[in-house]
Amino acid sequence: QVQLVQSGVDVKKPGASVKVSCKASGYSFTNYGISWVRQAPGQGLEWMGWISANNGNTNYAQKFQGRVTITTDTSTTTAYMELRRLRSDDTAFYYCARSPPVVNRVDYWGQGTLVTVSS
Amino acid sequence: QSALTQPASVSGSPGQSITISCTGTSSDVGAYNYVSWYQQHPGKAPKLMAYDVTERPSGVSNRFSGSKSGSTASLTISGLQAGDEATYYCSSYTTGSTLVFGGGTKLTVL
């Protein structure tokens, strides 16, 4: 069965960077992409960006351009999301989710990783 | 890219039907038949309930059905059950090759 298992809770100071991992299993990793979606406490879902696990092509939401980098390691079927210059309003659950080669939806989701930004 | 517009809340009694709307623009909902719906219970990850406007993933009840007219998509839940109480989000592919979500609709089963 498709599984996406994310790294654990992280606490960062303002201005720092965070890197969240997402280990995929149960499907052919390079036939799909991985999206990253965040959800601030009590708020809605926000799509951050996507990577093709086949060729490494990426596409980011304009809001996060220049501050986020999504990568994959096909040898370990793991995706990563790095967010830089953290602010307190980046405190949120960060989810990885599988997307088709065209990011027209997300289907399977990771369990989420809480990132807290606090001084 | 602005979020898609959903009502903040809807409610219904067990057995009834409810419909949740999701309004976008000609750059997202109106441009493609790539609208999806997700159910999220408190403290849980979202779950895909419908995709490509009308398609249901394997295992999702046929009580959940999607439709679209112009730049507005809808999710109808028939035969409401207590377990349907959750927050529902829509998403759409955009002309910028990105994905955009709606703000979410909290469904209360009375």
pLDDT tens, residue by residue, A91-111: 999 999 999 988 899 999 999
Smallest Cα distance from B98 to chain A, Å: 7
Place of tokens 């596409």: A59
Average pLDDT, chain A: 96
Cβ neighbours for B12, distance < 8 A, ≥ 6 positions apart:
B18, B77, B80, B107, B108, B109, B110
| Number of A–B residue contacts, CB under 8 Å | 66
- According to the model, what pLDDT value does residue B2 have? 84
Average pLDDT, chain B: 96
Cβ neighbours for B41, distance < 8 A, ≥ 6 positions apart:
B86
Nearest to A113 by CA among A36, A34, A10: A10
Checking if the pLDDT of B28 tops 90, the result is yes
Mark yes or no for CB contact A62/B1 under 8 Å.
yes
Place of tokens 């009580």: B63
Task: Using a CB–CB cutoff of 8 Å, tell me whether B89 touches chain A.
Answer: yes
